[in-house]
């Protein structure tokens, strides 16, 4: 074996170990093998110290990880040991590379380095150490890197469940007011409380992690045979949310004492509504701090650095490379990091904001229609008889025929849905605004690719050939998406705004003695804006033979917002419990009105931060325009070194023509990047949804293109 190949063997072994762990995360069979191996090797060790770490067991339960403590702990030790070995191997290569780097004669380094850096020459000549000294150095570095890798892996693996539990606690507390209102409304409808718990547990898509907590109680009752009170107590012990735990303890006390459950839930509902308002105020204050920090760090900071680098480039020499790193790497990644963090913050203020992305009017209608109605037996075979005779599925050869027919119907509905979407493209884009990017982005990309060959010249790549095309293409994509999204969003907002009025009117009509179905027919004739159109479609479904629950589910699928999902879920479940829904409708109306009030307050408060971002971008644009339009053209260029930019011409700083052009191009690109990202952040601050920033980004990019066209 050649020396070079022998040197690569440890590295290949380390990479193989990393690949083994990576495959285990995506392949269930291989993951089971890793799990069995880890338990066989370290299971007894983990069990021995189980009692010393009760917080770890609690974190695993609170995070709802589908693993046992023994399994998770054994895999943690295995991962830590494996990555410690991998780190030790990489440590050997790291110190070897450092020794190769320092294999320079100290005198040569001293001559090459400036006077202020001559002390670095003392680091040269390390390979002249003896074999024993080199062995000790390599061993210490290998053990150090390996220990750090293993310790970090072990700590991160045990830290992660706690992090997930904390995130679940935040989501639970965000959804708790609406969940308590839902429980309160169902209990007022006369439904038995065990059934209420089961219904809430089944609504995880609508009520999120709070419903997932109730699923714990349902699983304990169904799987372990617990009674309701014991199941709720266990649910309270496992939850990561202190608020939910307090609610569960109070709920259990009320159930055990026999006090009025509806009165308790009503008090809890009002308390959590006040808590939600208080939490919103604190989060809005946090957003104000984040907006100020963004302006200071990610707008004023880069502007200051750009100005300093330009001045240094004029006075000392070329600073194009660090300026490129700032514009193309640091600025985008810092802004993207801020967007990710802001999305985590705004999720607690605007829960479920991403649920309204929009869907086609016919999207998944067949899935909603195929759901069994409440109270029916979903296990009955398709096409089966209800008279106790043999079913179609019992006849030989008929089951395959029925399955084939069902698949044909599903395929036909899918093709028909696609045909309808293509047949009315404008309506489809307004209902599904995300598709606007899929339509406009390829057009912009084709325009860029068409001009791209001209950018490759004999001197290299010239970005000025395609940057205008990229900017105009980005403006077009953002503009098309912004128009579709804003029209779609306004329609959804109008529907949500009319929901409280709809519920109040339904309650009034129901109190007068009219049935729920007749109440819908009566109320849909009133002026409810876009919601009236949707109610007409609901009534059309009923007239064509659909039951009201299925028609409402189709309405929920068409709109797909958290507010409409809550209303539809409450109505469909309450209708199964009682025909007198006036009390339930009043509760739902109050909850919807409170949500609308909070949303208006959020919009008014966050609008200030949008203005702050706009002002900061205008300052950024003004300073860059001054640098590009007035400073660079007035600098001396004669006698300046074309390669370095040249430090001085008759005592004054100067730039060559090429350097001045490069700096001007970098200014243009910096403003485009800043405009795009600042626009997205402005929309995210104002609404909690980054997609709402498309219109702001389009405006800022348009201002940049127009300004630099004028300066050019």
- Retrieve residue 438's tokens: 């899929």
Read off the pLDDT band of 357 (50, 70, 90): very low
Nearest CA-CA partner of 98 in 67, 70, 140, 63: 140
Counted residue by residue, the chain has a size of: 712
- What single DSSP character describes residue 684? H
More confident site: 482 or 15 = 482
Q: Which of 266, 244, 254 is nearest to 186 (CA)?
A: 266
Q: Which residues pair with 652 in a beta bridge?
A: 649
Cα distances (Å, whole numbers) of residue 540 to 67, 519, 552:
49, 14, 11
Q: Is the dihedral of CA 6, 7, 10, 16 positive or negative?
A: negative
Quick one: pLDDT band at residue 667, thresholds 50, 70, 90? very high
Residues 432 and 359 sit within 8 Å (Cβ to Cβ):
yes
Find where tokens 């009133």 sit.
Answer: 526
Please give the pLDDT value at position 389: 42
The span from the CA of 433 to the CA of 445, in Å, is: 19
Confidence label for 121 from pLDDT (cuts 50, 70 and 90): low
The confidence score (pLDDT) of residue 90 equals 86
CB-CB contact of 152 with 80 (8 Å): no
The tens digit of pLDDT for each residue in 411-427 reads 877 787 777 777 777 77
Query: Would you give the distance in Å from CA 439 to the centre of its chain?
Result: 23
User: Count of CB atoms within 10 A of residue 384's CB?
Assistant: 16
For CA atoms 338, 344, 350, 355, the dihedral sign is positive
Lowest mean pLDDT among 558-572, 603-617, 694-708: 558-572
Q: In the prediction, which pLDDT does 619 show?
A: 92
Residue 72 has pLDDT above 50, yes or no: yes
Residue 566: per-residue pLDDT: 81
Structural domain boundaries in the chain = 3-166, 174-277, 365-370+411-433+494-594
Alpha-carbon distance of 206 to 203, in angstroms, equals: 5
pLDDT at 372: 40
* pTM, two decimal places: 0.73
Residue 585 in contact with residue 512, Cβ under 8 Å?
no
pLDDT tens, 369-407? 334 433 333 333 333 333 444 444 444 456 677 777 878
Question: Crossing angle for the helix pair 530-543 and 516-523, nearest 10 degrees?
Answer: 140
Nearest to 290 by CA among 353, 338, 355: 338
pLDDT reported for residue 108: 60
Topology annotation, domain 365-370+411-433+494-594: Receptor-associated Protein (1.20.81)
**What are 95-101's contacts with CB under 8 Å, separation 24+?**
95/137, 95/138, 95/141, 95/142, 96/138, 99/126, 99/127, 99/134
pLDDT at 695 over 90: yes
Identify the pLDDT of residue 439: 87
DSSP for 117-128 reads GGGGGGGTTGGG
According to DSSP H, which parts of 295-330 are helical?
Answer: 301-315, 320-325
Give CA–CA dist 257/677, Å, rounded: 57
HSE-CB at 518 with a 13 A cutoff on CA atoms is 10
Residue 622 in tokens: 């003004």
Cα separations in angstroms, 434 against 52, 367, 591? 51, 22, 30
Alpha carbon distance 47, 40 (integer Å): 12
């Amino acid at each position: 074996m050649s020396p070079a190949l022998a040197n690569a063997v440890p590295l290949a072994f380390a990479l193989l170990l990393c690949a083994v762990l990576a495959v285990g995360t995506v392949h269930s069979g291989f993951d089971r093998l890793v799990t069995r191996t880890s338990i066989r090797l370290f299971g007894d060790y983990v069990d021995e110290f189980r009692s010393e770490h009760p917080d770890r067991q609690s974190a695993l339960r609170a995070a709802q990880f589908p693993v046992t403590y023994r399994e998770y702990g054994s895999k943690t030790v295995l991962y830590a040991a494996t990555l410690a070995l991998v780190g030790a191997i990489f440590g050997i290569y790291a110190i070897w590379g450092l020794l190769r780097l320092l294999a320079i004669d100290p005198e040569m380094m001293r001559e090459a380095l400036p006077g202020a850096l001559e002390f670095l020459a003392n680091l040269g000549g390390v390979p002249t150490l003896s074999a024993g000294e080199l062995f000790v150095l390599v061993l210490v570095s290998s053990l150090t890197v390996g220990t750090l890798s293993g310790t970090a892996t072990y700590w991160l693996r045990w830290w992660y469940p706690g992090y997930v539990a904390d995130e679940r606690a935040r989501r639970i507390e965000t959804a708790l007011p609406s969940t308590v209102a839902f429980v309160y409304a169902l209990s007022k409808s006369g439904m038995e409380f065990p059934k209420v718990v089961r219904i809430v547990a089944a609504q995880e898509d609508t009520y999120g992690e709070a419903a997932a907590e109730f699923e714990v109680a349902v699983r304990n009752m169904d799987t372990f045979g617990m009674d309701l009170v014991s199941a709720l107590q266990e649910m309270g012990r496992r939850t990561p949310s202190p608020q939910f735990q307090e609610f569960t303890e109070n709920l259990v006390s009320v159930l055990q004492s026999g006090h009025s459950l509806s009165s308790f839930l009503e008090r809890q509902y009002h308390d959590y509504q006040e808590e939600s308002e208080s939490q919103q105020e604190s989060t809005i204050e946090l957003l104000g701090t984040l907006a100020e920090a963004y302006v200071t760090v990610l707008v004023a900071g880069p502007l200051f650095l750009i100005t300093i680098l330009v001045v240094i480039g004029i006075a000392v020499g070329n600073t194009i490379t660090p300026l490129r790193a700032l514009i193309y790497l640091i600025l985008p990644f810092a802004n993207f990091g801020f967007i990710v963090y802001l999305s985590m913050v705004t999720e607690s203020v605007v829960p479920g904001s991403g649920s309204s992305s929009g869907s086609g009017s016919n999207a998944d209608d067949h899935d909603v229609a195929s759901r069994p109605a409440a109270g029916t037996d979903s296990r009955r075979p398709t096409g089966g008889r209800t008279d106790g005779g043999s079913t179609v599925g019992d006849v030989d050869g008929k089951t395959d025929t029925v399955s084939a027919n069902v698949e044909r119907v599903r395929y036909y509905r899918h093709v028909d849905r696609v045909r309808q979407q293509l047949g009315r493209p404008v309506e489809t884009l307004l209902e599904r605004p995300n598709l606007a990017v899929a339509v406009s982005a390829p057009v912009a990309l084709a325009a860029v690719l068409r001009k791209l060959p001209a950018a490759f010249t004999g001197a290299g790549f010239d970005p000025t050939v395609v940057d205008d095309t990229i900017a105009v293409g980005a403006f077009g994509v953002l503009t098309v998406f912004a128009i579709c999204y804003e029209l779609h969003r306004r329609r959804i907002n109008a529907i949500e705004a009319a929901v409280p009025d709809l519920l109040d009117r339904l309650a009034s009509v129901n109190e007068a003695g009219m049935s729920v179905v007749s109440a819908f027919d009566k109320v849909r004739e009133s002026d409810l804006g876009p919601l009236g159109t949707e109610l007409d479609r609901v009534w059309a479904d009923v007239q064509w033979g659909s039951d009201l629950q299925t028609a409402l589910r189709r309405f929920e699928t068409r709109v797909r917002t958290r507010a409409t999902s809550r209303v539809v879920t409450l109505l469909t479940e309450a209708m199964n419990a009682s025909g007198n829904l006036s009390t339930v409708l009043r509760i739902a109306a109050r909850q919807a009105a409170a949500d609308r009030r909070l949303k208006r307050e959020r919009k008014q408060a966050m609008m200030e931060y949008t203005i702050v971002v706009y002002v900061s971008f205008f300052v950024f644009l003004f300073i860059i325009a001054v640098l590009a339009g007035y400073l660079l053209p007035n600098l001396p260029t004669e006698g300046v070194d074309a390669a370095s930019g040249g430090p001085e011409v008759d005592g004054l700083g100067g730039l060559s023509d090429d350097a001045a052009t490069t700096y001007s191009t970098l200014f243009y690109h910096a403003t485009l990047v800043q405009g795009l990202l600042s626009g997205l952040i402005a929309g995210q601050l104002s609404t909690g949804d980054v997609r709402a920033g498309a219109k702001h980004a389009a405006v800022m990019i348009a201002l940049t293109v127009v300004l630099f066209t004028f300066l050019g």
